[in-house]
């Protein structure tokens, strides 16, 4: 592995293939997640975006190829090695996944208590700092049932950065949010990435905000990479599928109509012309 490649990319997929049984999800793909940048994974549902996050975290194992995290292949790691790698990662799950029976403060404190031996006074300071970073220090004593969906995502983000990870992964962080909460979440991803020196990778279907905050965009389709580059490079792609996706067109390589026989065949008309009765021949 070239040293320059390791220095430039925190995560690399090299000729990686993964699937479930006979169904191939990722087919011999190679991509890099630039260190210190915000990378977006986009594409149609079921295209393997969340699967890539699970492969990085070691929940799934590649069937062939390599998945490198800071130069180390995650695939052959044992449980101890995987846990050590995960401590360098933060994960924001879709809809937050907060512990319902723990307060906001206790949710953010959980990874600190689980993975460190820090004294309680220091844990308190760290939790308040992380909550302050997402604008919710004043909500520390609330329960998850007492906060909005947007606030829950921000609390989950504070929990994801509690251990000062190098990589933060977000699984559809904008899903179901109102425009104000969506804009806030997008700005936080960008601001925290830059202020904390993180590398961020997130799955999204929201074009406008995603293109606004991303340095690098990867669009997956049919188990392959359809295109990747800066947001502007992706917008200018001439690939028909990418053009359809970026411009939100209902028809294109991804068809509006599910494949099937022609409408005439389904109606039993075959290729015969449809004969309309004349008004003069209609009954009075």
Residue by residue, DSSP assigns 31-94 as: EEEETTSEEEEEESTTSSHHHHHHHHHTSS--SEEEEEETTEESTT--HHHHHHHHTTEEEE-T
Q: Is 40 within the bounds of a domain?
A: yes
User: What is the per-residue pLDDT for 261?
Assistant: 79
Q: Is 137 within the bounds of a domain?
A: no
For 83-124, what is each residue's pLDDT tens digit? 889 889 988 877 668 888 999 999 999 989 988 899 999 999
Q: Is 227 within the bounds of a domain?
A: yes
Question: H/E element holding 275?
Answer: none
Can you give the residue range of the structural domain that contains 213? 3-88+165-238
For 24-80, what is each residue's pLDDT tens digit? 899 999 999 999 999 999 987 777 899 999 999 988 899 999 999 999 999 999 999
Q: What CATH number is given to the structural domain containing 204? A: 3.40.50.300
What pTM, to 2 d.p., does this model score?
A: 0.80
Q: Is 97 within the bounds of a domain?
A: no
The number of folded domains in the chain is: 1
For 228-280, what is each residue's pLDDT tens digit? 999 999 888 888 888 888 877 776 666 666 677 777 787 877 655 555 555 55
Q: Is 28 within the bounds of a domain?
A: yes
């Amino acid at each position: 592995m070239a040293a320059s490649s390791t220095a430039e990319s925190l995560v690399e997929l090299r000729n990686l293939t993964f699937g479930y049984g006979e169904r191939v999800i990722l087919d011999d793909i190679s991509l890099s997640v630039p260190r210190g940048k915000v990378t977006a994974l986009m594409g149609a549902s079921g295209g393997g975006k969340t699967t890539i996050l699970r492969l990085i975290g070691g929940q799934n194992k590649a069937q062939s190829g390599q998945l490198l995290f800071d130069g180390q292949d995650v695939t052959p790691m044992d449980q101890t090695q995987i846990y050590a790698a995960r401590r360098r990662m933060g994960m924001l799950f879709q809809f937050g996944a907060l512990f319902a029976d723990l307060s906001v403060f206790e949710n953010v404190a959980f990874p600190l208590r689980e993975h460190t031996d820090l004294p309680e006074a220091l844990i308190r300071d760290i939790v308040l700092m992380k909550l302050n970073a997402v604008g919710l220090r004043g909500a520390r004593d609330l329960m998850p049932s007492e906060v909005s969906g947007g606030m829950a995502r921000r609390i989950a983000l504070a929990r994801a950065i509690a251990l000062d990870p190098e990589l933060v992964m977000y699984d559809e962080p904008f899903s179901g949010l109102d425009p104000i909460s969506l804009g806030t979440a997008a700005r936080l991803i960008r601001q925290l990435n830059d202020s904390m020196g993180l590398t961020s990778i997130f799955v999204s279907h929201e074009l406008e905000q995603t293109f606004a905050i991303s340095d690098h965009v990867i669009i997956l389709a049919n188990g392959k990479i359809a295109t990747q580059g800066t947001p502007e490079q992706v917008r200018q792609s001439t690939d028909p599928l990418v053009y359809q996706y970026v411009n939100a067109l209902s028809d294109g390589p991804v068809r509006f109509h599910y494949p099937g026989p022609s409408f005439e065949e389904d109606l039993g008309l075959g290729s015969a012309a449809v004969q309309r009765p004349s008004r003069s021949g209609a009954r009075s």
